[in-house]
C-alpha cells in the first residue's frame, strides 16, 4: 500500500482530514521513532491512538 493511501485510510479511521498529520504519524511509526515534537498535538494524539503506535507526543 502506498504511504499516501495509508495516510488517507488512517484519516478515515480517525475521522480527521489532515493528511499531513497522518503522514507524520505514519512515517514516525515506520521509521521506529519514539517521539514526535509538535506545537499542535490535537489530531496527532488521535491518529497515534487509532494507529496503535507506541509514540510519545512532546508539546513545545
Mean pLDDT of successive 10-residue stretches along the chain, which has 60 residues = 94 96 96 94 95 96
In the chain, how many domains are there? Answer: 1
Q: How far apart are CA 18 and CA 34, in angstroms?
A: 21
pLDDT at 44: 96
Verdict on whether the full-model pTM lies above 0.85: yes
Is residue 59 within 8 Å of residue 39, measured between CB atoms? yes
Q: Which domain holds residue 42?
A: 3-59
Q: How many CA atoms lie within 13 A of 53 on its CB side?
A: 25
Amino acid at each position: 500500500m502506498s504511504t499516501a493511501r495509508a495516510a488517507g485510510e488512517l484519516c478515515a479511521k480517525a475521522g480527521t482530514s489532515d493528511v499531513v498529520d497522518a503522514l507524520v504519524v505514519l512515517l514516525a511509526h515506520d521509521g521506529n521513532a519514539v517521539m514526535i515534537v509538535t506545537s499542535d498535538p490535537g489530531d496527532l494524539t488521535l491518529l497515534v491512538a487509532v494507529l496503535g503506535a507506541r509514540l510519545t507526543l512532546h508539546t513545545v
